[in-house]
């Protein structure tokens, strides 16, 4: 591990942990974020605890995150500050400010009311931090509501941009462009999918998606599959519909979103231009804005889409089961063949098990599959009045 940090990158010294960790705040594929307290000072922070063994081969991501945070920490009130970083024998620790105010959308849903002007204030704070990043040659690449946190539970708390694991420091003199496909699909710009090279404009695209989401409760390219979502993003296939959800949103807000969701990155607004847009400057208070409370619609749409996608995921699982690609996922018990050698997967009890690769989905009969489908169909009918959902093959 230490050799991975030797090529001109930060090399935290291996030392005893100076922090006592507490409750878990979040988790990723190779890390967990925990509340922690400094043993000597008693001050509370958040520690991203990264398992060295699990992250083997991806050390560059951590080196990069440390480099980015060191460059920008303490420089802007809307960016999470890196307090400390070090290694122990098994883990790498990134210690940051403790954001006690929760995630952006959770905070909105807990409010008693929520107006377009509130959305504009949130976007202005986010853009201010993004412009600061861009001025320092950094592109975030994973802007989304889940990575926007509040410093404290108070109403006037700072909004913080967090999670710089996918961020990059751009080499402006060498006209450095990035080509790796990364990010969260619904918030990714067309040029990322095209692999034509991307940079700072991808953050402005993400701001456009976030703004749309903050005004209606669903994302502009929300589709039943990642492929359909990508196809919609590539041609910017979105609209401000249904009209009933957008009637109370100003033309200025919609024009702001359009300027962000411009396919050509060279024609897209820069972060500084977005900060100077009339909707951002005016805080959402425009002549055509009806100052409607958006919260009921946003919560309704968000919950409806979440329930819909859960049902779609269930139907997909059944289809995969029928194809024999996920035997044993549903109600039927996974069968064991006593005539075969134990060279399959290990079950919870330590027994070797076999997954049949043929199309008859061993472990669940056709009758059981039909019964499962019937139950999902009944559930779907009860939730959405018999609406039929498009399924992926």
Annotated binding-site positions for ATP? 48
Q: Give the C-alpha separation, 358 to 179, whole Å.
A: 39
Q: Calculate the alpha carbon distances from 390 to 149, 229, 309, 316, 393 in Å.
A: 35, 14, 11, 10, 10
Catalytic residue among 142, 158, 163, 222: 142
SS3 state of residue 14:
strand
Phi then psi dihedrals of residue 143, to 5 deg: -75, 125
Neighbours of 393 (CB within 10 A): 5
d(CA 56, CA 155): 41
Sorted by sequence, the CB contacts under 8 Å of residue 161 that are 6+ apart come out as 78, 79, 80, 126, 129, 130, 133, 140, 143, 147, 148
Nearest to 380 by CA among 298, 303, 314: 314
Is 142 catalytic? The answer is: yes
Residues 6+ apart with CB under 8 A from 325: none
Radius of gyration of the chain measured on its C-alpha atoms: 24
Name which of 331, 334, 339, 329 is nearest 362 in CA terms. 334
Distances (CA, A) of 56 to 1, 2, 22, 171, 181: 8, 12, 25, 26, 20
> What are the backbone dihedrals phi and psi of residue 131, each rounded to the nearest 5 degrees, phi first?
-60, -40
Q: Give the residue numbers annotated as catalytic, written as ranges.
A: 142
């Amino acid at each position: 591990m230490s050799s991975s940090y030797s090529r001109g990158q930060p090399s935290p010294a291996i030392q005893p942990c100076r922090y006592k960790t507490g409750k878990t705040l979040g988790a990723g594929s190779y890390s967990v974020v925990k509340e922690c307290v400094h043993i000597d000072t008693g001050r509370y922070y958040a520690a991203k605890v990264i398992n060295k063994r699990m992250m083997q081969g991806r050390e560059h991501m951590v080196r990069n995150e440390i480099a980015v945070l060191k460059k920008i920490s303490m420089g802007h009130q809307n960016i999470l500050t890196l307090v400390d970083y070090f290694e122990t024998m098994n883990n790498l620790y990134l210690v940051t400010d403790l954001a006690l105010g929760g995630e952006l959308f959770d905070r909105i849903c807990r409010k008693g009311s929520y107006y377009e002007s509130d959305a504009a204030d949130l976007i202005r704070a986010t853009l201010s931090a993004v412009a600061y990043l861009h001025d320092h040659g950094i592109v975030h690449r994973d802007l989304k509501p889940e990575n926007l946190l509040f410093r404290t539970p108070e109403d006037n708390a700072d909004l913080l941009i967090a999670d710089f694991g996918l961020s990059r420091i751009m080499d402006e003199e060498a006209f450095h462009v990035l080509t790796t496909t990364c990010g969260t699909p619904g918030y990714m710009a067309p040029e990322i999918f095209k692999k034509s090279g991307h940079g700072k404009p991808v953050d402005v695209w993400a701001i456009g998606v976030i703004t749309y989401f903050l005004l209606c409760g669903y994302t502009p390219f929300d589709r039943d599959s990642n492929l359909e979502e990508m196809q919609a993003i590539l041609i910017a296939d979105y609209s401000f519909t249904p009209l009933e959800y957008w009637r109370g949103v100003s033309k200025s807000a919609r024009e702001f979103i359009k300027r962000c969701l411009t396919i050509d990155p060279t024609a897209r607004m820069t972060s500084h231009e977005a900060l100077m847009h009339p909707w951002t400057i005016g805080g959402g208070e425009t002549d055509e804005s009806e100052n409607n409370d958006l919260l009921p619609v946003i919560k309704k749409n968000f919950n409806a889409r979440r329930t819909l996608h859960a049902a779609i995921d269930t139907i997909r699982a059944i289809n995969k089961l029928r194809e024999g690609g996920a035997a044993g996922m549903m109600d039927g018990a996974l069968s064991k063949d006593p005539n075969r050698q134990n060279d399959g997967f290990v079950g919870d009890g330590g027994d070797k098990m076999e997954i049949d690769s043929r199309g008859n989905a061993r472990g669940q009969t056709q009758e059981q599959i039909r019964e499962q489908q019937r139950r999902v169909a009944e559930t779907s009918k009860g939730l959405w009045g018999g609406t039929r959902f498009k399924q992926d093959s």
